[in-house]
């Protein structure tokens, strides 16, 4: 991840503190699918740049500018978050494919090294499946059920 990246999550990550933590500590935009009682203004009020950025004026200006840009982009993405539902659905289908077809639902490995090898191979296989053009929702669902 790099500064300014957008991370799409589901409602399980939902909390106003998670918005604040993602922006202030990691400097990323958390696109958390909101619950029905979500208040955008409350989330925006929590997003502020760290007070420590005032120590160095040059660094402070850059940090303040970065946080203002993150806040502006966060607001624009949260106002149209429903556009990202389709992306989240495809991500869920990819996880379903990895769990069912590539056997990532139950990992029977006992050492960290063997788990890393097993997962690395499956991630490589999943990447290969996607790079071969299997990116539509129907194709991913068909492969997951196969």
Convert the pLDDT of each residue in 41-51 to its tens digit: 888 887 766 65
pTM of the model: 0.58
What three-state secondary structure class fits 9? strand
pLDDT tens readout for residues 29-38? 888 777 778 8
pLDDT tens readout for residues 70-115? 889 888 988 888 888 788 788 788 888 888 777 777 777 888 898 8
Q: Which tokens belong to 26? A: 């990691």
Asked if 30 and 71 count as a contact pair (C-beta separation under 8 A), the reply is: no
| Rounded Cα gap, residues 59 and 73, in angstroms | 21
Determine how β-strand 29-32 pairs with β-strand 6-9: parallel
Question: In sequence order, which residues have a C-beta less than 8 Å from that of residue 129 and are 6 or more positions away?
Answer: 97, 143
């Amino acid at each position: 991840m790099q500064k300014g990246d957008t991370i799409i999550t589901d409602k399980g990550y939902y909390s106003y503190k998670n918005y604040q933590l993602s922006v202030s500590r990691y400097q990323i935009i958390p696109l958390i699918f909101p619950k029905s009682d979500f208040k955008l203004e409350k989330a925006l009020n929590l997003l502020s740049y760290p007070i420590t950025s005032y120590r160095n004026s040059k660094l402070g200006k850059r940090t303040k500018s970065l946080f203002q840009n993150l806040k502006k982009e966060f607001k624009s993405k949260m106002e149209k978050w429903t556009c990202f539902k389709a992306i989240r659905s495809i991500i869920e289908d990819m996880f379903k494919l990895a769990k069912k077809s590539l056997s990532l639902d139950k990992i029977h490995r006992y050492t960290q090294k063997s788990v890393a090898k097993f997962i690395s191979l499956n991630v490589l296989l999943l990447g290969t499946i996607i790079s071969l053009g299997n990116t539509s929702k129907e194709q991913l669902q068909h492969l997951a059920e196969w």
